[in-house]
Structure 1
Amino acid sequence: MQFTAQQIAQAVNGTVVGNPDITANDFAKIEEAKPGSLCFVMDAKYVHYLADTQASVILINSDIAVEHPTSATLIRVDNARQAMADLLKMVEDVINPRRHGMEQPCFVAQGTTVPQDTYLGAFAYIGKNVRIGSNVQIYPHCYIGDNVIIGDNTTLYDGVKIYYNTRIGSNCMLHAGVVVGSDGFGFEPDKEGTYHKVPQIGDVIIEDDVEIGANTTIDRAMMGHTIIHRNTKIDNLVQIAHNCAIGQSTVLCAQVGLAGSTTVGNHCILTGQVGVAGHLEITDNVIVGAQAGVASSIKKQGIYQGSPVLDIMTFRKNAAIMKQLPELRTMIMDHDRTLKKINKQ
């Protein structure tokens, strides 16, 4: 696919600075661009690449000053990252269009009606009394248990497993290998210390506009609901235990693990490998840094880091002290030797 700078500018409501007829046929990071590449710059710290880049067309924020000449044609936009995302969506719709029809073999149980505009891939299994919305995409080898509800325009990629009684909203995207509604990790020891399974009879509710990355697992509630509120984005390999509640527009990055009955507020970001103990609450607008361990509730919005977590300023002060520990140890040992010499005298 090849487009001129002028065509690209029209698509993203931008202004061309340079040659409007130059063409782009590929996307690239600015530091790796070649002739024909389309790139974007949304931060002034990347402006220095413009002097030497081989890119043909660059989307750039309107408020970023360019002080040195560049061979690339610029397209000024309000938000270069969003403009690039819009273009990528247009291309994705062409190279990976929505599918239609029912491939064989697949299985649809009694009491379930598959709408005509649904795509049902080969070897998919649809259980009893499943309700499927309009324009749903169910890729090969998916399993949909009994009484599941799937909203309009939702996509389940290859091998997604949805256990019984789960509710999934509209405009959701579940990537390959996602498991929703598996049993929560509930066991009770008897007097002899033998563990016995506690039945998990609750369900999972996923609201609208949620995206869930590959091989993430979301356990059903022991009683009541495990719930993911609207517009939340979950990365690959995330574990969400029984009875958790995740707020609106929250982000869980790869390998985050939430123990049972944890509540995460709205507009939070839990970065990679954050672990959260059970029965805790994290308030709205909290960011937790990578590999942090949350052992108690976070009741104040802000940025947290460390294990156990500390507010970011305390963490940085402690980290600075940690760097000085070898020097401090040497000083203490020197003072100790000096005191011993004085005492001998």
Structure 2
Amino acid sequence: MPRTPRPIRLAELAAHLGCELDGDGACEIAGFASLGQARADELVFVRDGRHARALVESAARAVLAPSDVDVQHRTVLRSAHPARDFSRLMTAFAPIARPSEGVGPGAQVDATAAVDVSASIEPGARVGPRCRVGARSVIAANATLVADVEVGSDCWIHAGVVLRERTRVGNRVVLQPGVVLGSDGFGLVPDESGRPVAMAHRGRVVVEDDVEIGANTTVDRATLDETRIRRGAKIDNLVQIAHNCDIGENALIVAQTGLSGGTVVGRGAILMAQAGTTGHLRIGEQAFVGARGGVHHDVPDGARVFGAPALEERLWHRSVVALTRLPELLRRVRRLERGVGVSRGDRARDPAGGEGASGGDSDVD
């Protein structure tokens, strides 16, 4: 559970959020916790009345809760957005410890690199030729900036990240461990004998301000121009973004999604887990692609699609319902066939049905 460096009065927390306080403002907390694990001196939060029922079993004396939730025998910070404000408080009052400024032992910084004096280069990190690292940014252990890489201010480049040649990273960007930006894209051309040969990739990756990218996600550089992740986009772990993709502002891409080359994701679009696209299509602004959605065509602005191949939401629901009715429909067809004297042998010989037409009879008779 995250602990605060010092005890903090609830009145101070309320002032930080600008929210209403019900109860004793002099009450102090020393950390933040979940409902089930909280100690008396830790702050918890509830999203709604249903969530609040768990408060009965919680030891916490202080809670962050919506104004319409009845909370008894506890000091309450009232918030319209409890989860968001709880995160704000943890960030402000229980921050992650930053490493010391400067270049750590065993780190390598090329003589042609420019590293701000307030930046932190941890042991084992490598900052290559002509790279630039901005103010208060952290390059964690064993991260590598290959060459001509630019990292803005207040970034956190976690352990094992690799930023390939000419990658540009804006301000307040977080790259979780194992992220790779700027590898060659999977572009292949056949040689004279038909053997696939990797096409040269000389573009770059550009990551704008306030982007967060999860662990072991890969973003390939463009063939000639840019693969771009726009301001505020949030990308989960284990995502593959191919060459020449363009991810819109504030888009959300959930784990194990794969985007083929040239995919454009509009502003505020959401792609749920294990979604995938064929190349050179557009997912519109504020569009939604359900988990495991297989997108083979453009998705209009604001549309919601599900399934593989991805279908508009209502059509997908109808298709799923129809699929669940297939066994009963097949049983009815078999009964009708028997009524008119069609045998299994007739079905097996039917060119429209093919040799395998009767293979599933035992499941539906």
Q: Output the TM-score relative to the length of structure 2.
A: 0.85
Partner of 1:179: 180
Partner of 2:348: none
Shift of 1:328: 2.8
Deviates more, 1:72-81 or 1:24-33: 24-33
8 Å Cα contact 1:204/1:226 also seen in 2: yes
2:289 is the alignment partner of 1:284: no
8 Å Cα contact 2:31/2:94 also seen in 1: no
State the percentage of identical aligned residues. Answer: 32
Where 1:82 maps in the other structure, the secondary structure is helix
Partner of 1:246: 247
Residue type at the aligned position of 1:79: H
Q: Which runs of 5+ in 1 are unaligned?
A: none
Shift of 1:302: 2.1
8 Å Cα contact 2:99/2:122 also seen in 1: no
Paired with 2:36 and 2:123, the residues of 1 have a C-alpha distance of 42
Residues 3-152 of structure 1 aligned to structure 2 (within 5 Å):
3-30=8-35, 33=38, 35-62=40-67, 64-66=68-70, 70-93=72-95, 95-97=96-98, 99-152=100-153
Deviates more, 1:258-267 or 1:322-331: 322-331
Distance 1:338 1:6, change over 3 A: farther
Paired with 1:319 and 1:33, the residues of 2 have a C-alpha distance of 43
Distance 1:219 1:92, change over 3 A: farther
Residue type at the aligned position of 1:30: L
Query: CA deviation digits over 1:189-236, x for unaligned, max 9?
Result: 224331212110111111111111111111011111111111111111
Paired with 1:289 and 1:241, the residues of 2 have a C-alpha distance of 20
Residue type at the aligned position of 2:151: I
Shift of 1:32: 5.3
Q: Which runs of 5+ in 2 are unaligned?
A: 343-365
Distance 1:336 1:226, change over 3 A: same
Where 2:285 maps in the other structure, the secondary structure is coil
8 Å Cα contact 1:174/1:211 also seen in 2: yes
Residue type at the aligned position of 2:318: K
Paired with 1:339 and 1:24, the residues of 2 have a C-alpha distance of 80
Query: CA deviation digits over 1:238-284, x for unaligned, max 9?
Result: 11100111111111111111111111110011111111111111111
2:263 is the alignment partner of 1:257: no
Partner of 1:214: 215
Residue type at the aligned position of 1:60: A
8 Å Cα contact 1:289/1:306 also seen in 2: yes
Shift of 1:99: 3.3
Shift of 1:336: 3.2
Distance 1:37 1:303, change over 3 A: farther
Deviates more, 1:77-86 or 1:250-259: 77-86
Query: CA deviation digits over 1:43-94, x for unaligned, max 9?
Result: 34424334554432221122x243xx6343322123212210111102442x
Distance 1:74 1:279, change over 3 A: same
Paired with 1:134 and 1:34, the residues of 2 have a C-alpha distance of 38
Q: Output the TM-score relative to the length of structure 1.
A: 0.90
Residue type at the aligned position of 1:317: R
Matched positions, count = 337
Distance 1:224 1:331, change over 3 A: same
Paired with 1:197 and 1:120, the residues of 2 have a C-alpha distance of 34
Query: CA deviation digits over 1:137-166, x for unaligned, max 9?
Result: 111111112111111111111111111111
Residue type at the aligned position of 2:139: I
**How well do the aligned residues superpose, as a CA RMSD in angstroms?**
2.1
Shift of 1:324: 2.5
